[in-house]
Chains A and B, each alone.
Chain A
Amino acid sequence: MHTRLNGKTPEETRVVIGMSGGVDSSVAALMLKKQGYDVIGIFMKNWDDTDEFGVCTATEDYNDVIAVCNQIGIPYYAVNFEKEYWDKVFTYFLDEYKAGRTPNPDVMCNKEIKFKAFLDHALDLGADFVATGHYARAAFNGEEVQMLRGVDNNKDQTYFLNQLSQEQMEKVMFPIGELTKPELRKIAQEAGLATASKKDSTGICFIGERDFKEFLSNYLPAKPGEMQTLEGEVKGKHDGLMYYTIGQRHGLGIGGSGEPWFVVGKNLEENVLYVEQGFHHDALYSESLTAVKASWISAKSVPGQFTCTAKFRYRQPDMGVTVNVKEDGTLNVVFDEPQRAITPGQAVVFYDGDVCLGGATIDTVFKNGEPISYL
């Protein structure tokens, strides 16, 4: 680790850590402090969810940050990125839904907010490094800083960090990457941290515990339409295409006998949601994809073709793929085995063993060499 400090001691090295008020970033801050760094905790306020009684979860979370920082003995501040978040993440989020895709705001938040706006802010505060409570590892291999999967396979968050560049990686520390969640909870409990027993946040951060449909309907008009099979048989009504994602089973409300029904595609022009019966329905399977906005962790040039493993969604086992990098930078990714429910708009992330190579945004999905028209 110390090989990254450019000859400075930990005491001379200022690490600004983004703290959410959750247990992961709390322990991350504690680990840094124990390692002797000059640690400063910063709470990012990216979203205003103040309700009619003036209650705001950000205020509650910030109070937890304060409590933990006082326990650890580090100064704390807050920074407001509501505007940046709205412009860069939320606008993208809505635009993707409007275009019929399923966005990944966490990937965008890491790219534009946590490792850009926040990193810049930290540098303005004289930081040598920024740290976050992500389950990932930043390791210097003698030449470059690699991004490795978090040791806890169950929690690994490199999927969401795939858009980071080498320039960003050089400034990043992931203090909890070597820990499993149970180990982390234990450390938090032994240290008596105020957040030791705090529930993990779930879902998209700005939606929180609220109903997804209701939230989205505040921003995008819902256009109800028909649910059809690919053959055109009407199976019911949908509430608006944006509320459904490929491979989804729940909330379709199609009764009858036989296997359950699944979303297999969308037709934006005709406002039709395609459904078919059976988890393994053939329509859900594809053989390759093209992806755009590819980004690589290493600064070295990528080969034109290579084999590696890939994830097409978070917490999915890796699958073998062959990647072809086209001249314009778009990727053609051919799967070793047909894959189920590949979803345009989501990230495809590449790995070589434990090393996260980078990722891209899924654009078009192919079967039998042809783009799947109903996606």
Chain B
Amino acid sequence: MNRIYLDHAATSPVHPEVVEAMLPYFTQHFGNPSSIHFYGRETRKLLDDTRAAAARSIGAKPNEIIFTSGGTEADNMAVIGTAEARKSDGNHIITSAAEHHAVLHACYELEKKGFEVTYLKTDEEGRISLSELKESLREDTILVSIMYGNNETGTVQDIQEIGTILGSHKAYFHSDAVQAYGLASLDVNELSLDLMSVSGHKINAPNGTGFLYVRDGVRLSPLAFGGEQERKRRAGTENVAGIAGFNKAVELMITQRESRVELYRSFRIKLQDVLKENDVEFLYNGSSEHFLPHVLNISFPGVKTEVLLVNLDMAGIAVSSGSACTAGTMEPSHVLTSMFGKDERTRSAIRFSFGYGNTMEEIEKAANETAKIVKRLKK
């Protein structure tokens, strides 16, 4: 079966050039970057080079980058690490109901420890209200965490404007930019961000890579203790080969970003056009103006998400719902629930996400196959 992978927002294939860049770091340059000998110096150089490249990619300084195992660790570090470090400054955190679980569940954990969290609702496009954010800000607010682009819907928040609103408020401003990093030009100074999470495996680097940007002077309690790696903020021997891959992936990402944005924009238009040509009833879930081009969330009224996903898989098309699973079964997506409630629209949604390797032919085929299945199921 010729399979089509349209789930790049979940994870993406590692680019062959990335694999190639990693290989020497498994067998040849395998030293521990903390070691004082030649082997250590070799990999330490890689670490420094990658740190500089990562910093450049977001307008930061190299010492503001902490390598992590990915987006979840970066989000946890940002939310829990700053809350712990600023306990004496305040007790209040603001985030949104549509955040990734890595932020939401970290906030739930903080609530158990006595912190107070405000979860901003989203409108039908998945955007938070800036006036509600302003009203929620309190003297004791120590952190505002709002994701850049949503992993389920692609909806982009007005991060720059939020940064302006926060202005001289003492609250730190964190953004989960895991989905956005590969496709949006991000500058932490323009966006007035204090912290930002990035993951490698969404940009064709291997799983287990990523970083947290932490602005100079931001206080952060470590979550892991041990060696003095990452300026004592993240103990543990670095994932050297992964970081070598991440370095290459960042380089590729920067050179290809604009062309990819164009390509994915044409994919999303094509996919919807084909559905229309097939007279399939569907609803676009997301923002018409503010979106990441690689995520396309669509509801097919009258068709259940899990039935559609399984049928698509059996037809060789890999997509997802973006929602959490318990024992393999789907709970209604919290992101769509924040947009539409737990109604039919939420329960009939699937997410297509585009990435490296996808072709227009694949998109057309996937759309036609989806139309065929939806029509069969609605009979």
- A56–B326 touching, CB < 8 Å: yes
> Which of these, B314, B326, B327, contacts A61 with CB under 8 Å?
B327
**Contact indicator per residue, chain B 304-332, by CB within 8 Å of chain A (1) or not (0):** 00110011011000000000011111100
A80 to B347, CA, bound (A): 12
- A58–B326 touching, CB < 8 Å: yes
Answer yes or no: A86 CB below 8 A from chain B CBs.
Answer: no
DSSP class of A's interface residues: helix, strand, loop or mixed? mixed
Known pairs A80-B306, A121-B307; A126 contacts B329 (CB<8 A)? no
Binding-face segment, A71-79, A101-109, A249-257, A273-281: A71-79
The 15 listed contacts between A and B (C-beta, < 8 Å) are: A40-B314, A43-B327, A45-B326, A45-B328, A48-B326, A62-B327, A62-B328, A78-B306, A78-B329, A79-B306, A79-B329, A80-B306, A124-B307, A125-B307, A125-B314
- B327–A59 touching, CB < 8 Å: yes
Closest to A56 in B: B327
Min CB–CB distance A17 → chain B (angstroms): 14
Q: Which residues of A contact B311 (CB under 8 A)?
A: 124-126
- B326–A59 touching, CB < 8 Å: yes
Tell me the B residues contacting A by CB distance below 8 Å: 306-307, 310-311, 313-314, 325-330, 377
Min CB–CB distance B301 → chain A (angstroms): 16
- A125–B310 touching, CB < 8 Å: yes
- A80–B329 touching, CB < 8 Å: yes
A43 to B326, CA, bound (A): 12
Known pairs A125-B307, A125-B314, A126-B311; A78 contacts B377 (CB<8 A)? no
Those of A78-99 within 8 Å (CB) of chain B: 78-80
Q: Which residues of B contact A79 (CB under 8 A)?
A: 306, 329
Q: Which residues of B contact A40 (CB under 8 A)?
A: 314
A75 to B327, CA, bound (A): 16
Q: Which residues of B contact A124 (CB under 8 A)?
A: 307, 311, 377
Q: Which residues of A contact B326 (CB under 8 A)?
A: 45, 48, 50, 56, 58-59
- B314–A75 touching, CB < 8 Å: yes
A75 to B311, CA, bound (A): 12
Min CB–CB distance B339 → chain A (angstroms): 21
- A80–B330 touching, CB < 8 Å: yes
Closest to A44 in B: B329
A75 to B313, CA, bound (A): 10
**Contact indicator per residue, chain A 42-58, by CB within 8 Å of chain B (1) or not (0):** 01010010100000101
Q: Which residues of A contact B329 (CB under 8 A)?
A: 43, 45, 78-80
- A43–B328 touching, CB < 8 Å: yes
**Contact indicator per residue, chain A 11-40, by CB within 8 Å of chain B (1) or not (0):** 000000000000000000000000000001
Min CB–CB distance A43 → chain B (angstroms): 6
Min CB–CB distance A27 → chain B (angstroms): 21
A62 to B329, CA, bound (A): 10
Known pairs A121-B307, A124-B307, A124-B377; A78 contacts B327 (CB<8 A)? yes
Chain A to chain B: the 3 pairs with minimum beta-carbon distance, closest first: A78-B328, A80-B329, A58-B327
**Max chain B C-beta neighbours (<10 A), residue from A50, A59, A79:** A79
**Max chain B C-beta neighbours (<10 A), residue from A43, A50, A61, A77:** A77
A267 to B330, CA, bound (A): 45
Min CB–CB distance A252 → chain B (angstroms): 39
Closest to B306 in A: A79
Q: Which residues of A contact B314 (CB under 8 A)?
A: 40, 75, 125-126
Min CB–CB distance A55 → chain B (angstroms): 11
